[in-house]
């Protein structure tokens, strides 16, 4: 298995169903791996799942069911998109799953087109999430390169204050503020103030109190 | 009359007269000893007359004057008349077959001779005796009539004598023809001597009268011969009859001895003996028979008195048969009810036969009388017992004929009183089962005498209106009144069995309802179970389709996939089969059930329920658990109920939710299965009520589940109970009897 290519991680306690699902993915040219229980998946080394992809997860399993695994994964920050499969699902169960971020909630016996489509969507979502996470990391890196004074200034700026007001708040002159502002835009790699606001919003930097 | 000078002939005549007289006297004495023997009397008279005639004749031979001769001859005719009349009487009474008219002719003719004799001055021979003469005779001289004038009636006297002769010959011939042995001898002896004598005397008389012979009158020697011959015959007859009498006496004694012996024997056996000879008017009975029938010990029993004791048909039949001249042999058997002087009732059995009558005209019937009161009382006691019995009762003989029934039996089988008795038992058996029943009945009857069936056989029975009953029968073989019988006690179970059937139907229905409701609870779980193999099948099939479409399908792939598809299809089929078994509504099917297997299957059914509820199951199954007898579906229904209840009980419980299923033996004869949960347990005040109908702790529960479980387990001869665990939760425990495979 080449690292980096997306895979379908099947978690189902029924070996015959698992085997058949593996055959589906094989026939569609999708890489897949199977786990016999939620615990087995959780215990799997990070390297196995690092390549990304999605989880094809059976809802009802002994000891730990699919929904519980979903919660556990969220808690651990190993956010892979999940396609739920159930042999007998009800509406509250599906609502709960979707709310928790599931891609789809399919009922067995599942049609392969629907399954493969859901898996495609999940892969796409995974890729999107990965890109978003990378962008986030870049912004964080850039924000981390700001000096303390520059971060203070940034906080005031995203709160929508004028340079003169910022200078007054920080007890300095307007010109100094202008220099800081230029440095911040340079470090964050943006050309307008609007972009600065967007990045800081995404990074979760809160505007300074006035 | 001159004195009698003794000469040889005088002496001879005296001797002959004396002989006649003596013989006459002897027979007179014989007659006196037996007054009905008139022939003795007549013979005695004849003999005495002969003696008298001898005297007259002797005087005639010595008569000295014509007048004397005439008088003597006249008297001689009187004596002769007496003689002949006496002889007629004798012949008539001795042979008893003389022609009466001929006898009377003799008597009348002789009477006319006597009249002629009396009216003549001389006698019937002569109108006048002219002179007498003497002739030499036996060394002396005898007086004879030398010359006389014949009386015209003298010929008639001759004729009369010959009529007498004809009478004697005729009678003798008749006696010869009628009689046998002794009677023929008498006929020959008496008839012969009489005829000879009369012929001799008559002929001599005639010749002398005609003057051919010149003899004195000599009838006496002929008379003597006659008297001797007849006397001899009579004495012979007397001797014979005396011998016969002796024989008879001996026979009589033997007969009496036999009778005494028989009387003793029959007395000892308590048997009365009777005999009624066909046309006789009286009936002979032994003293025991007399006592039994209430007749005097000594008196004569008339036939009508005897017949009055019998029932009318028997009496009529007996009389009719007896009076037929050619009575055939016919058996008589009847029962009589008699009351003795104290009013006590006795029952007698009179049996016998009518036989063709032997020495009697018509038939003769004889037989015995037996006192059957004890047997009859037994019968009546049995009858009363049968009538008082709460059972319908039938008594059947060896041939399968119903010989006794009680009123209950008649009512049960819808027969009018008295109409069931005498029928063949198989009329009460449904037609299709008759042949089998008959062979079973014969088999039962050929077994040991004390045979019984006390286990109550369930059979179908047929009433007279064609209704089929379900009855239970108990059989006892016994001897009743000396006969081999089978007594059947019968209970009508039709209503009870219908009710039981109804009850069973209701029980089944309720069990089914409860099962359907449990399966409803389980439907999600079952759908899950079924969808798993379907999902696998579909995925396998579609993956293969896709490969085929892309031209990448390999045969090894196809082989593997098809094997899996087949396996999964079987798995789905098995799940459906189990569901169907639980949902169907069949009659219980009794078979050998292994509780371990049954529990494993049920656990598979609830597998997804268990996993959804995050329950973990721990099983501990006894190895070599003996099987139980039961309906697998119903027993699994109980397990299902208990498992679902246990899972339900732990729903609000944080993990771990542990469910334990254990099986174990309980002694030799029982097995136990327990289901333990670790939920909150059952409130103590409700512990005793969980098996009651409509008791439920669930909001949606009907409250029938556990009630039905208890019904099912009790129907299987087992028990079910609930208890709280020492730690947490409750345990439900089923105990069932082990199937005893040794017994059928």
> Does residue B744 surpass a pLDDT of 50?
no
**CB within 8 A of B552, min separation 6: which ones?**
A27
Mean pLDDT of B681-700: 76
What ipTM was predicted for this assembly?
0.75
For B334, the 3-state DSSP assignment is strand
- CA B496 to chain A, closest CA, distance in angstroms equals 49
Residue of B441 and B744 predicted with greater confidence: B441
Contact B159, B151 (CB under 8 A): no
Nearest Cβ partner for A87 among B531, B571, B616: B531
* Residue among A21, A62, A87 whose CB faces B527 most closely: A87
Name the average pLDDT for chain B: 83
DSSP string of B410-471, one letter each residue: HHHTT--TTSSTTSBGGGGS-GGGHHHHHHHHHHHHTS-TT-EEEEEEEEEEE-TTS-EEEE
User: Can you give the pLDDT at residue B323?
Assistant: 64
The neighbour count for residue A128, using CB atoms within 10 Å, is: 11
Asked if residue B525 has pLDDT above 50, the reply is yes
Residues of B in contact with A90 (CB under 8 A): 524
- Within 534-563 of B, beta carbons closer than 8 Å to A belong to 534-540, 542-544, 546-547, 550, 552, 561
What pLDDT, on the 0 to 100 scale, is given for residue B741?
67
Residue B623 buriedness (CB in 10 A; 0-12 / 13-18 / 19+): exposed
What pTM, to 2 d.p., does this model score?
A: 0.47
% of chain B with per-residue pLDDT over 70: 94
Calpha distance A75→B254 (Å, rounded): 139
Q: Do B611 and A107 touch (CB under 8 A)?
A: no
B278-291, pLDDT tens digit by residue? 666 778 888 888 88
pLDDT tens for B111-141 read 888 888 888 777 777 777 777 888 877 777 7
Q: How far is CA B659 from CA A13, B644, B690, B722, B731, in A?
A: 20, 10, 19, 15, 10
Give the pLDDT band (50/70/90) at residue B543.
very high
Q: Which residues of chain A carry a pLDDT beneath 70? A: 1-4, 47-50, 78, 209-210
Predicted confidence (pLDDT) at residue B673 exceeds the cutoff of 90 = yes
What would the pLDDT profile of A137-147 be if each residue is shown by its tens digit? Answer: 888 888 888 88
Task: Work out the mean pLDDT of chain A and round it to a whole number.
Answer: 84
* Cα distance between residue B137 and residue B528, in whole Å: 174
Asked if pLDDT for residue B544 goes beyond 60, the answer is: yes
Rounded Cα distance between B5 and B20, Å, is 22
pLDDT at B564: 93
B620 has a pLDDT exceeding 90: yes
Mean pLDDT (whole number) for B8-18? 86
CB atoms within 10 A of CB B198: 22
Which pLDDT belongs to residue A3?
46
pLDDT tens-place string over residues B456-508: 788 889 898 988 888 989 888 888 777 888 889 999 888 888 888 888 777 77
Instruction: Using a CB–CB cutoff of 8 Å, tell me whether B604 touches chain A.
Output: no
pLDDT tens digits for B598-617? Answer: 999 888 888 877 877 778 88
> Pick from A20, A28, A60: which is nearest to B536 by CB?
A20
Q: How far is Cα B298 from Cα A71, in angstroms, rounded to an integer?
A: 130
Q: Residue B732: its pLDDT value, please? A: 93
Angstroms from A115 CA to nearest CA on chain B: 10
User: Touching check for A87 and chain B: CB below 8 Å?
Assistant: yes
pLDDT (0 to 100) of residue A2: 43
Tell me the mean pLDDT in the region B664-674: 90
pLDDT at B2 over 70: no
Task: Please say whether the dihedral angle defined by the alpha carbons of residues B187, B193, B197 and B199, taken in this order, is positive or negative.
Answer: positive
What value does the mean pLDDT take over residues B438-442?
87
Percentage of chain B modeled with pLDDT above 90: 15
> Is A58:A31 a contact under the CB 8 Å cutoff?
no
The pLDDT of B305-329, averaged and rounded, is 70
Task: Tell whether the model's pLDDT for residue B572 goes beyond 50.
Answer: yes
CA-to-CA separations, B365 to B218, B329, B333, B360, B520, in angstroms, rounded: 64, 9, 12, 11, 92
Check B546 against A27: CB less than 8 A apart.
yes
B313-324, pLDDT tens digit by residue? 777 777 776 666
pLDDT value of position A18: 92
Grade residue B1 by pLDDT with cuts at 50, 70 and 90. very low
């Amino acid at each position: 298995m080449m690292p980096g290519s997306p895979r379908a991680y099947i978690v189902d306690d029924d070996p015959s169903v698992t085997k058949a699902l593996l055959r589906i993915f094989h026939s569609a040219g999708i890489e897949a791996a199977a786990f016999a229980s939620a615990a087995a998946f959780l215990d799997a080394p990070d390297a196995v799942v690092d390549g990304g992809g999605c989880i094809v997860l059976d809802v009802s399993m002994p000891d730990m069911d699919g929904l519980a695994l979903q919660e556990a994964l969220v808690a651990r920050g190993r956010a892979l998109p999940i396609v739920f499969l159930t042999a007998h699902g009800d509406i509250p169960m599906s609502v709960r799953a979707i709310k928790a971020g599931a891609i789809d909630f399919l009922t067995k016996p599942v049609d392969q087109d629907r399954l493969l489509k859901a898996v495609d969507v999940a892969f796409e979502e995974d890729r999107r999430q990965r890109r978003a996470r990378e962008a986030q990391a870049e912004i964080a890196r850039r924000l981390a390169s700001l000096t303390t004074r520059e971060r203070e200034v940034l906080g005031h700026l995203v709160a929508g204050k004028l340079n003169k007001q910022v200078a007054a708040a920080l007890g300095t002159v307007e010109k100094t503020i202008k220099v800081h502002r230029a440095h911040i835009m340079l470090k964050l790699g943006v050309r307008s103030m609007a972009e600065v606001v967007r990045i800081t919003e995404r990074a979760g930097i809160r505007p300074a109190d006035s | 009359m001159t004195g009698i000078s003794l000469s040889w002939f005088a002496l001879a005549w005296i001797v002959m007269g004396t002989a006649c007289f003596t013989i006459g006297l002897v027979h007179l004495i014989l007659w006196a000893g037996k007054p009905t023997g008139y022939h003795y009397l007549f013979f005695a008279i004849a003999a005495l007359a002969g003696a008298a005639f001898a005297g007259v004749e002797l005087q005639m031979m010595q008569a000295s004057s014509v007048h004397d001769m005439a008088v003597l001859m006249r008297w001689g005719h009187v004596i002769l008349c007496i003689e002949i009349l006496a002889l007629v009487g004798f012949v008539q009474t001795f042979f008893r077959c003389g022609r009466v008219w001929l006898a009377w002719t003799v008597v009348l003719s002789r009477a006319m001779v006597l009249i002629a004799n009396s009216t003549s001055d001389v006698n019937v021979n002569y109108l006048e005796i002219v002179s007498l003469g003497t002739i030499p005779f036996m060394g002396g001289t005898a007086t004879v009539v030398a010359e006389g004038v014949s009386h015209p009636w003298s010929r008639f006297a001759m004729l009369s004598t010959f009529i007498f002769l004809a009478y004697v010959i005729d009678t003798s011939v008749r006696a010869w023809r009628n009689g046998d042995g002794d009677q023929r001898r008498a006929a020959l002896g008496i008839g012969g001597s009489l005829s000879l004598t009369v012929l001799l005397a008559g002929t001599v008389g005639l010749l002398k009268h005609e003057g051919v012979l010149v003899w004195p009158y000599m009838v006496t020697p002929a008379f003597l011969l006659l008297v001797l011959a007849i006397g001899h015959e009579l004495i012979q007859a007397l001797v014979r009859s005396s011998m016969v009498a002796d024989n008879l006496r001996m026979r009589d004694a033997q007969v009496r001895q036999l009778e005494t012996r028989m009387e003793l024997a029959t007395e000892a056996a308590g048997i009365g003996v009777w005999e009624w000879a066909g046309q006789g008017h009286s009936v002979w009975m032994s003293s025991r028979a007399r006592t039994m029938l209430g007749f005097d010990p000594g008196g004569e029993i008339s036939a009508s008195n005897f017949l009055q004791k019998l029932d009318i048909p028997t009496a009529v039949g007996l009389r009719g048969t007896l009076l037929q001249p050619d009575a055939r042999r016919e058996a008589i058997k009847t029962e009589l009810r008699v009351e003795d002087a104290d009013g006590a009732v006795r029952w007698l059995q009179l049996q016998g036969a009518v036989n063709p009558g032997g020495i009697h005209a018509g038939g003769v019937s004889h037989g015995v009388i037996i006192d059957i009161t004890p047997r009859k009382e037994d019968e009546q006691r049995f009858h009363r017992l049968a009538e008082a019995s709460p059972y319908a009762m039938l008594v059947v003989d060896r041939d399968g004929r119903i010989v006794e029934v009680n009123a209950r039996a008649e009512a049960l089988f819808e027969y009018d009183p008295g109409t069931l008795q005498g029928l063949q038992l198989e009329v009460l058996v449904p037609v299709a089962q008759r042949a089998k029943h008959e062979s079973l009945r014969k088999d039962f009857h050929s077994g040991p005498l004390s045979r019984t069936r006390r286990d109550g056989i369930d059979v179908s029975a047929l009433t007279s209106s064609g209704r089929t009953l379900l009855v239970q029968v108990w059989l006892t073989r016994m001897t009743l009144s000396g006969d081999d019988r089978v007594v059947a006690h019968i209970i009508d179970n039709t209503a009870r069995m219908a009710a039981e059937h109804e009850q069973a139907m209701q029980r089944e229905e309720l069990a089914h309802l409860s099962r359907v409701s449990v399966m409803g609870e389980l439907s999600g779980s079952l759908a899950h179970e079924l969808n798993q193999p379907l999902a696998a099948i579909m995925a396998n099939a579609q993956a293969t389709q896709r490969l085929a479409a892309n031209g990448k399908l390999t045969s090894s792939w196809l082989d593997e996939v098809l094997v899996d598809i087949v396996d999964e299809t079987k798995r789905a089929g098995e799940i459906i089969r189990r569901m169907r078994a639980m949902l169907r509504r069949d009659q219980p099917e009794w078979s050998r059930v292994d509780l371990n297997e049954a529990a494993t299957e049920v656990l598979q059914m609830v597998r997804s329920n268990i996993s959804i509820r995050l329950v973990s199951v721990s099983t501990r199954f006894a190895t070599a658990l003996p099987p139980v007898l039961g309906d697998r579906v119903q027993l699994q229904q109980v397990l299902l109920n208990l498992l679902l209840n246990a899972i339900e009980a732990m729903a609000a419980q944080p993990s771990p939710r542990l469910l334990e299923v254990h099986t174990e033996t309980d002694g030799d004869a029982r097995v136990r299965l327990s289901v333990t949960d670790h939920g909150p347990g059952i409130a103590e005040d409700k512990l005793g009520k969980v098996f009651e109908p409509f008791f439920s702790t669930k909001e949606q529960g009907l409250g029938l589940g556990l009630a039905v479980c208890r019904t099912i387990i009790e129907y299987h001869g087992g028990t079910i109970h609930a208890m709280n665990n020492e730690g947490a939760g409750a345990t439900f425990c089923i105990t069932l009897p082990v199937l005893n495979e040794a017994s059928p």
